[in-house]
Amino acid sequence: MHPSYADIRERIDEQPQWYDQHGVPRYCPFAPQHCSDIYASEVALLEIECQACGQMFVAEALRPRIPGAPKLSEIVARGDSPSYGDPPRHENCAGETMGAWTIRVIELWTSHRGDWVRVDGVTD
Identity (one letter) of the amino acid at 62? L
pLDDT at 123: 58
Q: How far apart are CA 43 and CA 22, in angstroms?
A: 13
> What pLDDT, on the 0 to 100 scale, is given for residue 97?
93
Q: Where are the domains of the chain?
A: 6-117
Q: What is the pLDDT, as a whole number, of residue 25? A: 97
Collect all residues with Cβ–Cβ distance below 8 Å to 88 and sequence separation of at least 6: 2, 16, 19, 23, 25, 57, 59
The gap between the terminal CA atoms of the chain, to the nearest Å, is 27
pTM: 0.90
pLDDT in tens, the chain (124 residues): 999 999 999 999 999 999 999 999 999 999 999 998 888 889 999 999 999 999 999 999 987 667 888 889 999 999 898 999 999 999 889 999 999 999 999 999 999 887 999 998 775 5
Distance of CA 27 to the CA centre of its chain: 14
pLDDT at 124: 52
